[in-house]
């Protein structure tokens, strides 16, 4: 199971072990972005199967994974994805990925046949060939060259140099002046400015590439980035706008200083800012780094309501308010639940109300985590069959429990067979799983009659049924 650790400054060496050789070309696959936006995304990381696995926490989108980053020639991406699947099953959530490299989209769509996919233009990265920004050669870059020539004419003593840790006070003076001329009210832009200022404190670290344009001891522009694979990722580009031409001068100088031997320069996204988009387009990107968001779904997403199923003696349908007393009795029966393998107390928060179990079942269905069938004999509630633990890959688990006074009459087996038939041939699952405790001989016999064995561990016997 994945064990996540919050990303902090001391995490950088472990992150860079993967990011320094990463081939995805997207800015999110970098230590700088993880640090810069950690108070927004609250990222955590784990290492598994020779891969870096990052989990982000979004207020609007919930848990979002990055695509696993393998060590070249060592990492098992499919193995890491399997660990993500297992983590999601244990936490009752569907696998969701926030930033999927375009080249890996097909792998995830093959893995999760029911998926919601989108590619938001606002967050696409601007990718430039390193040689283009280094030289600004050709007619298409005549505008940039003209701006640089004007800057040099107006400020002949301005120079580019790399920043060092000792430049910290000068950088803070720059920030104070930049704040005074900053005129954007957008919340994202304000947050970015605050996060960028904090990230600049990493200047001097071995993984940081940082530079400035200086005029007579005053910083006119600053830049910070890092190398990931064959890409120089530029996290910060800030200049005092009253110094005309300082931005193209900084862009070219920073590229020339730090992109030797690299193919690409990633100047990140524009976040929908019109001015920023115009500016980044003027530098003529050779490609746009698509960031695909993919959320796996399961077969229940196509189900509007709990269906009505009929077997020889039983009707299986949705739980009702009038089932409350009997359903509570079933859910509170410790002897029954010992074999069920679940204790409601593990998840209970606050007071146990009389509607707790019915409401939990309702929420699970609305969230497409499970479907609870009431088992009815001549209209009376006698137990339930639950389809749950959907892996979003065509598989789910089925369980059944009966009120004690109705046990021993084959109702559980009958309900199990009917629910299994519906799951595989109407809902569309290709694999159904079930388990029972070693010592639960009655359940073992029932499952063995319906399914084939699928292994065991110290606690459970496992069974499966496939289409």
Phi then psi for residue 454, to 5 deg, are -140, 40
Show the DSSP H helices in 274-346 as ranges. 274-282, 324-331, 334-340
For residue 213, give the nearest of 205, 204, 203, 223 by alpha carbon: 223
Model pTM?
Answer: 0.89
Residue 54 is inside which H or E element, if any? strand 51-58
CB-facing half-sphere around the CA of 396: CA atoms within 13 A: 29
Distances (CA, A) of 434 to 95, 431, 451: 22, 10, 9
Taking the C-alpha atoms of residue 412 and residue 311, their distance in angstroms, rounded to an integer, is 11
The CATH number of 299-466 is 3.40.630.30
Question: Are 134 and 265 within 8 A, CB to CB?
Answer: no
Please tell us whether the domain made up of 5-122 is placed in CATH 1.10.3720.10.
no
The residues, ordered by sequence, that sit 6+ positions from 156 with a Cβ below 8 Å of its Cβ are none
- Alpha-carbon distances of 376 from 270, 339, 398, 402, 419, rounded to whole Å: 58, 21, 18, 11, 13
Going residue by residue through the chain, which has 467 residues, state the pLDDT in tens, using 9 for 90 and above: 899 999 999 999 999 999 999 999 999 999 999 999 999 999 999 999 999 999 999 887 789 999 999 999 899 999 999 999 999 999 989 999 999 999 999 999 999 989 999 887 788 999 999 999 999 999 999 999 999 999 999 999 999 999 999 999 999 999 999 999 887 777 787 888 899 999 999 999 999 999 999 999 999 999 999 999 999 999 999 999 999 999 999 999 999 999 999 999 999 999 888 888 999 999 999 999 999 999 999 999 989 999 999 999 999 999 999 999 999 999 999 888 888 777 787 778 788 999 999 999 999 999 999 999 999 999 999 999 999 999 999 999 999 999 999 999 999 999 999 999 999 999 999 999 999 999 999 899 999 988 999 999 999 999 999 98
Residues 6+ apart with CB under 8 A from 246: 151, 158, 213, 220, 221, 239, 240
| CATH 3.40.630.30 in the chain, residue ranges | 5-122, 125-268, 299-466
| CATH code of domain 125-268 | 3.40.630.30
Q: Which residues of 25-61 are buried (b: 16+ CB within 10 A; e: fewer)?
A: bbbbbbbbbbbbbbeebebbbbbbbbbbbbbbeeeee
Instruction: Give the Cα separation of 241 and 41 in Å (integer).
Output: 30
């Amino acid at each position: 199971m994945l064990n996540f650790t919050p990303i902090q400054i001391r995490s950088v060496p472990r992150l860079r072990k993967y990011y320094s050789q990463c081939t995805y070309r997207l800015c999110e696959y970098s230590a700088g972005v993880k640090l810069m936006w950690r108070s927004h995304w609250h990222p955590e990381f784990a290492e598994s199967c020779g891969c870096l696995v990052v989990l982000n926490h979004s207020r609007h989108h919930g848990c979002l994974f990055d695509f696993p980053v393998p060590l070249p020639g060592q990492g098992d991406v499919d193995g890491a994805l399997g660990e993500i699947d297992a983590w999601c099953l244990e936490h009752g959530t569907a696998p969701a990925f926030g930033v999927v490299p375009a080249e890996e989209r097909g792998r995830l769509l093959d893995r999760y046949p029911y998926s919601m996919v989108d590619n938001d233009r606002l967050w696409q990265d601007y990718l430039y060939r390193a040689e283009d920004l280094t030289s600004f050669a050709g007619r298409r870059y005549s505008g940039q060259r003209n701006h640089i020539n004007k800057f040099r004419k107006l400020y002949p003593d301005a120079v580019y140099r790399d920043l060092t840790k000792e430049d910290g006070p000068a950088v803070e003076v720059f920030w104070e002046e930049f704040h005074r001329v900053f005129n954007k009210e957008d919340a994202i832009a304000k947050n970015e400015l605050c996060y960028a200022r904090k990230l600049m404190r990493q200047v001097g670290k071995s993984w940081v590439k940082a530079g400035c344009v200086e005029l007579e001891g005053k910083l006119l522009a600053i830049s910070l980035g890092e190398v990931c694979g064959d890409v120089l990722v530029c996290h910060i580009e800030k200049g005092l706008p009253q110094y005309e031409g300082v931005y193209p001068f900084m862009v070219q100088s920073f590229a020339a200083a730090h992109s030797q031997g690299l193919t690409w320069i990633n100047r990140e996204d524009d976040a929908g800012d019109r001015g920023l988009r115009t500016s980044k387009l003027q530098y003529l990107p050779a490609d746009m780094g698509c960031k695909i968001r993919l959320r796996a779904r399961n077969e229940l997403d196509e189900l509007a309501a709990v269906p009505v199923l009929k077997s020889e003696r039983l009707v299986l349908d949705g739980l009702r308010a009038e089932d409350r007393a009997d359903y509570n009795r079933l859910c509170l029966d410790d002897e029954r639940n010992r074999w069920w393998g679940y204790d409601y107390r593990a998840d209970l928060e606050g007071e146990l109300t009389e509607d707790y179990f019915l409401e939990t079942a309702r929420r699970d269905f609305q969230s497409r985590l499970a479907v609870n069938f009431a088992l009815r004999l001549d209209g009376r509630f006698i137990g339930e069959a639950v389809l749950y633990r959907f892996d979003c890959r065509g598989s789910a688990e089925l369980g059944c429990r009966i009120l004690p006074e109705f046990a021993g009459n084959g109702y559980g087996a009958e309900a199990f067979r009917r629910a299994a038939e519906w799951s595989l041939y109407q809902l569309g699952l290709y694999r159904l799983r079930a388990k029972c405790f070693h010592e639960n001989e009655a359940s073992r016999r029932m499952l063995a009659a319906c399914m084939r064995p699928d292994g065991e561990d110290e606690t459970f016997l496992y069974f499966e049924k496939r289409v």
